[in-house]
Structure 1
């Protein structure tokens, strides 16, 4: 439950979410608190060890700092919504804010699309960290990019300049700057981050860690924005069990924890994991891949070249098990050239998963996904999608349950599952910035901004 103490009436009046069909709305502070709370649980329960370790390794406070940082960034991700450009959108909420003393420049309506709330939040956070906490602008920008990019695309210099040239969109006069600062201070206290800001100021965030932090914030925002999990309306907003009820209903699967198999030779491991005739031995290439995976000094590329029929797929899956145990990875993505080859691979992966042990006995079903657009036409995937989530898992092969998680099966979310079969282009497109200017907004011709 969000603690409103310390927040003035002006800050509590800023809206963050609305359901226009039912006339309900959610204060911005409440959505920020929901997002921070969800991010904390994602850190505790859902993120694989490899991700947590990569973030925590940079921070002076280790894992404790990592958890605070993801909660803080998730808790301030929508600070750009405390701006005239965003608040303008819903007339009755805008009028309530105007009646309270918030001002809106007459140019806001025509050019508000020049200030999406992500880039607006980027600028607001940089201003706050530099003015209130003595950060250098470049260092503040390395953290603010997580806020600015929480819709999947980091803001460019052009995006930020569009807002700088129109300060009335961010709101630099009247109540706006004070309210943003108040919300940022309040959320820093709420997430126990206030005392850590001086230490984080000395930590340079490399781009891979920025990407991981942004990903955690995006997932937390997706969950906290689901009004079936986090409903609007005063009684629901302030329910003391709001977070617990939402998390229980969501029921995210926890990541796979690979079992150490260094004590098994190639013949024993392949016999346990794959359908091999009695007495059969692994191909030489399979034994070589397993040995190479065990001897790699650090995670990297392991490229296997062999003729068809030499068992490259099984070799790769064996390497996954070894590398996941060494690095703390929580699953794998198998990228195939086409949907047809993906369908065929999905069946083979399910067989492997049914024999794959987990170090966390009793954790629940292992989640899998077939990521292409026609997945529901695949009989095995459709069956798993419509099934339940069993509540027990085997310590070793022979009893593992597999399921498709309903929320993770949604649009844009399949690749978040622990074990995913898809196509190469899905992996490539995930790393590409979407094209801009594909469609012109109604405000575009007036403002020169195209969103």
Structure 2
């Protein structure tokens, strides 16, 4: 039994540490509250070591906060990403943990709520956070939830890659009626007390006066994903599992938060996440040999040019074996230092460009660059297919995780098929609509593309017929929830 004067509380609701957030690979379940604190701490460390001062200032300016306030508030948002785990479908995944909660009369849910498997925890976070942010004083609206809140819940609900849309105010106010998987009495109170305890422990009381534009939202969303990944490692959680008597008192929550902040720098360092430092200004500091003529020319002239004009673009063209790689890396170090860059990207494979060279006219680029061709974690430089289809200037490019059809007369018009993972394409029909690829249970067969052969037809009408034959009916509202947006209203004929 938790005493009110000891536990974190919201109204008549006390923090329930029986609600688990992590369990797989652990000696015992890890409370949701602990995982929220851990993720907020790791995000705060990523903010400190990954983001540059200009990006921090831009985020703060967009939110209408100081940089210090923005740091606390956005870290708090990161912690909230998994608040949707306080739902029947998620908690029911571990029956031994769920039974005491299910049998507790303080918790009420609609019949069958535990079976709402398509109502994933990140979708639940998206729905639940609208009301919680509004109760916390964040800007609200009458018909549509205020866009600043809409952007915040979308980037948190999208931490597994699928971002939800804007909710109407009436939907946000009656979220449990629209989604039985949220649970009703008891669980909404637990989400509220977790929200308030996390906010209190992190000191994130500042209220934004604006929202993040798309470009900054992508940055914050990416850091949330990385923070969640680092904080979710079993090796990071196991040493910090609360003891059997841990009950979630305010003092215990504070102690866990301070321990999480202490552990976060080590997790980030171990992952080798941070900003690159471009401190080398001499070629000889970077390589243990004397520069050749190409490299020496670059080393003698580029530093002064960068000092006078700032960062720019350096193109190195020379035959194989002339030291282009070393020359390019040295140039990247100088330009990275001048630009305040936080890293270096090396693009494997080739790139595709299509140019028009009409008689008597200068060549002009029509399409591209597209690529890198065949670039992935498993293979580079091959595993792609390209050809003209013979259909009025149309060509296709199959590489990585996409197949793209594009019209040369109108380069802005193209059709794209996206796969969940990189593909290794071996061959294709003339029209590019049937492709031969290799697949295996554990991924692709290395750089050679060895693995199980698979023939795929890019025919959505065929896919639709197969789907309808298997399902036997049009998709229900519940079935559509776990699928990407943009599906037509009717898929299978009545």
Pick aligned residue for 1:37 from 20, 41, 44: 41
Deviation readout 1:384-418 (Å, 9 max, x if unpaired): xxxxxxxxxxxxxxxxxxxxxxxxxxxxxxxxxxx
Report the Cα distance in structure 1 between the residues aligned to 2:163 and 2:299, rounded to whole angstroms. 42
**2:71 is the alignment partner of 1:63:** no
Q: CA deviation at 1:72?
A: 0.6
Where do 5+ consecutive residues of structure 2 fail to align? 141-145, 247-251, 351-374, 381-398, 404-416, 422-459, 484-494
**How many residue pairs end up in the alignment?**
350
**Structure with larger RCO (C-alpha < 8 A, sep 6+):** 1
**Which position in structure 2 is the counterpart of 1:235?**
243
Deviation at 1:327, TM superposition (A): 4.1
Displacement, 1:45?
A: 4.0
Cα distance per residue 1:394-444 (max 9 Å; x no partner): xxxxxxxxxxxxxxxxxxxxxxxxxxxxxx95999xxx9865999x9x9x9
Residues in 2 aligned to 1:45 and 1:255: alpha-carbon distance in whole angstroms: 7
Partner of 2:150: 141
- Hey, what does 1:80 align to over in structure 2? 84
Whichever of the two has the greater Rg, that structure is 2
Q: Secondary structure at the match of 2:15?
A: helix
CA distance in 1, matches of 2:102, 2:314: 62
**Pair 1:13–1:104, CA change in 2 (3 A):** farther
Match of 1:112 in 2: 117
Q: Which residue of 1 aligns with 2:377?
A: 372
Selected match of 1:124 from 120, 128, 149: 128
| CA distance in 2 between partners of 1:165 and 1:110 (Å) | 16
Q: 1:28: how far off?
A: 0.9
Q: Does 1:334 align with 2:341?
A: no
Q: Deviations over 1:250-302 (max 9, x none)?
A: 743453333385xxxxxxx34543466468464767777666655666x7x73
Higher normalized helix content (fraction of residues): 1
1:24 matched to 2:32? The reply is: no
- Aligned counterpart for 2:162 among listed residues 153, 178, 185: 153
CA distance in 1, matches of 2:46, 2:276: 14
Residue-by-residue CA offset, 1:58-106 (whole Å, 9 max, x unaligned): 4544431342133211211111112223222222222211232212322
Q: Cα offset for 1:33?
A: 1.0
Q: Of 269, 279, 286, which aligns to 1:273? A: 286
1:448 match? 479
Q: Report 1:94-113 matches (<5 A).
A: 94-100=98-104, 101-113=106-118
Give 3-state SS (helix, strand or coil) of 1:334's partner: coil
Deviations 1:292-346 (CA, angstroms, capped at 9, x unpaired): 655666x7x73626343676544543343234324433321211107xxxxxxxx
Say which structure is richer in strand: 2
Output the TM-score relative to the length of structure 2: 0.58
Aligned-CA RMSD value: 4.5
1:378 counterpart residue number: none
Cα pair 1:76 1:147 within 8 Å, conserved: yes
2:197 paired residue among 173, 177, 186: 186
Alpha carbons 1:150, 1:214 under 8 Å: kept: yes
Q: Secondary structure at the match of 2:236?
A: coil
- 1:329 and 1:233 mapped to 2: Cα distance? 38
Alignment of 1:176-255 (within 5 A): 176-194=187-205, 196-197=206-207, 200=208, 202-231=209-238, 233-235=241-243, 242-243=259-260, 244=262, 247-248=265-266, 251-252=269-270, 253=272, 254-255=274-275
Q: Secondary structure at the match of 1:77?
A: helix
**Cα distance in 2, alignment partners of residues 281 and 181 from structure 1:** 64
Find the aligned partners of 1:218 and 1:50 in 2 and give their Cα distance.
21
Moved more, 208-217 or 226-235: 226-235
Q: Distance in 2 between matches of 1:255 and 1:222?
A: 19
**C-alpha distance in structure 2 between counterparts of 1:20 and 1:260, whole Å:** 45
Structure 2 Cα separation of the partners of residues 205 and 182 of structure 1: 26
Distance 1:67 1:131, change over 3 A: closer
Q: After TM superposition, give the deviation of residue 192 of structure 1 in Å.
A: 1.5
Q: 1:346-383 CA distances to partner (integer Å, 9 max, x unpaired)?
A: xxxxxxxxxxxxxxxxxxxxxxxx983379xxxxxxxx
SS of match in other structure, 1:336: coil
CA distance change for structure 1 residues 166 and 64 in 2, over 3 Å: closer, same or farther?
same
Are 1:70 and 1:217, in contact at CA under 8 Å, matched by a contact in 2? no
How far the C-alpha of 1:36 sits from its partner, in A, is 1.3
